[in-house]
């Protein structure tokens, strides 16, 4: 399983901004809305409880959204 | 009053906190993070540092330690709990305080002496209001100190008197919303702030204003 965690929409993401600002200097024009998050890979016996696990530990629901992907 | 100061793997300000508690209130002892027993302790300081390496998110792992279970019980019972810097992050992650702390707006670690304004709360009685007391001179040192809460929550915090400290105008070092440096829970017995009152307790280092922060919680000791 894979969990993608990203800053909630509307929350300032200074890491994303820093990446975005660095790109033109490297010749990459026209890249916008960069958001930097986290990815967690894991193997779970009981995937049913994965959302609960994400809410309790992997993500902070106040500031982050998460998405669970089955590989 | 006897303070207990938590010590996690990665804590680094627990010794200064011990010293500050002793100067402010008389007595203090260290509590190891695996220790669930707060026998004889009236209040707890969750100190600064990088508990459990700040892995995942600052404070995210520390909140599950046995000592934090005991701290949550003390907080629920109305006992004084003070979270400083990483300790503030831990208390937010543990939902003992509202909001969250994010990377500083400019992505830089900040380390400087700042002025903090005290804000009255429902239980703070003699603090005397925002303007009645001169600002507290206290150092801040952190990379993830940008206080955040959604707008409706911020309105509620202000209405309830839960904003405890603000950075003085023009001194917000991290992009915190509404210049918030510290917040308290609804009943006022749990307090967290990013700046370090434990580093401002001796004239030798320029300020003793930090003592006021520790003493502001003494009223909640049983």
How high is the mean pLDDT of chain B?
Answer: 93
* B202 secondary structure, DSSP code: B
Q: Tens digit of pLDDT for each residue in B109-159?
A: 999 999 999 997 765 554 444 445 689 999 999 999 999 999 999 999 999
B107: nearest CB among A18, A57, A60: A18
| B208 pLDDT above the threshold of 50 | yes
How high is the mean pLDDT of chain A?
Answer: 93
Round to whole Å and give the CA distance between B67 and B8.
9
A15: nearest CB among B64, B100, B107: B107
Residues with Cβ within 8 Å of A22's Cβ and at least 6 positions away in sequence, in order, are none
At B123 the pLDDT is 53
Q: Tens digit of pLDDT for each residue in A20-49?
A: 999 999 999 999 999 999 999 999 888 889
Measure Cα distances from A31 to A12, A15, A24, A35, B105 in Å: 17, 15, 8, 11, 21
ipTM for this model: 0.86
| Mean pLDDT, range B78-96, rounded to an integer | 97
Residue B148 to residue A11, Cβ atoms within 8 A: yes
Chain A contact for B105, CB < 8 A?
yes
| B15 pLDDT above the threshold of 70 | yes
| Mean pLDDT, range A3-18, rounded to an integer | 94
Is there a contact between A37 and A5 (Cβ–Cβ < 8 Å)? Answer: yes
Q: Supply the DSSP string of B31-67, one letter for each residue.
A: EETT----TT--EEEE--B-GGGG-SSTTTTGGGSHH
Residue B102 to residue A63, Cβ atoms within 8 A: yes
**Could you confirm whether B19 is annotated as catalytic?**
no
Residue B102 to residue A58, Cβ atoms within 8 A: no
Chain B contact for A12, CB < 8 A?
yes
Model pTM? 0.93
| B46 pLDDT above the threshold of 50 | yes
At B129 the pLDDT is 47
Residue B149 to residue A62, Cβ atoms within 8 A: yes
Burial of A9: CB neighbours in 10 Å, binned 0-12, 13-18, 19+? exposed
Chain B contact for A41, CB < 8 A?
no
């Amino acid at each position: 399983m894979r969990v993608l965690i990203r800053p909630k929409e509307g929350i300032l993401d200074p890491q994303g901004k820093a990446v975005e600002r660095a790109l033109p200097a490297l010749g990459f024009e026209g890249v916008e809305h960069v958001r930097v998050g986290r990815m967690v890979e894991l193997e779970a016996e009981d995937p049913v409880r994965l959302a609960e696990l994400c809410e309790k530990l992997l993500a902070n629901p106040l500031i982050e959204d998460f998405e669970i992907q089955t590989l | 009053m006897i303070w207990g100061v938590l010590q996690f793997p990665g804590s680094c300000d627990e010794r200064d906190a011990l010293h500050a508690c002793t100067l402010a209130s008389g007595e203090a002892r260290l509590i190891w993070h695996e220790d669930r027993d707060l026998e004889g302790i009236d209040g707890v300081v969750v100190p600064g540092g990088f508990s459990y390496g700040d892995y995942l998110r600052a404070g995210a792992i520390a909140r599950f330690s046995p000592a934090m279970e005991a701290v949550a019980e003390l907080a629920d019972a109305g006992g004084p709990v003070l979270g400083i810097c990483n300790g503030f992050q831990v208390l937010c992650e543990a939902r003992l305080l509202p909001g969250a702390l994010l990377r500083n707006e400019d992505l830089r670690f900040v380390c400087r002496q700042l002025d903090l304004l005290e804000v009255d709360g429902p239980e703070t009685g003699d603090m005397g209001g925002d303007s009645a007391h001169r600002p507290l001179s206290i150092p801040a040192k952190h990379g993830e100190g940008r206080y955040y809460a959604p707008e409706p929550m911020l309105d509620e915090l202000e209405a309830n008197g839960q904003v405890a400290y603000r950075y003085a105008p023009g001194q917000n070092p991290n992009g915190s919303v509404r210049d918030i440096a510290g917040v308290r829970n609804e009943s006022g017995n749990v307090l967290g702030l990013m700046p370090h009152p434990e580093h401002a307790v001796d004239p030798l280092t320029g300020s003793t204003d930090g003592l006021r922060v520790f003493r502001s919680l003494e009223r909640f000791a049983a």
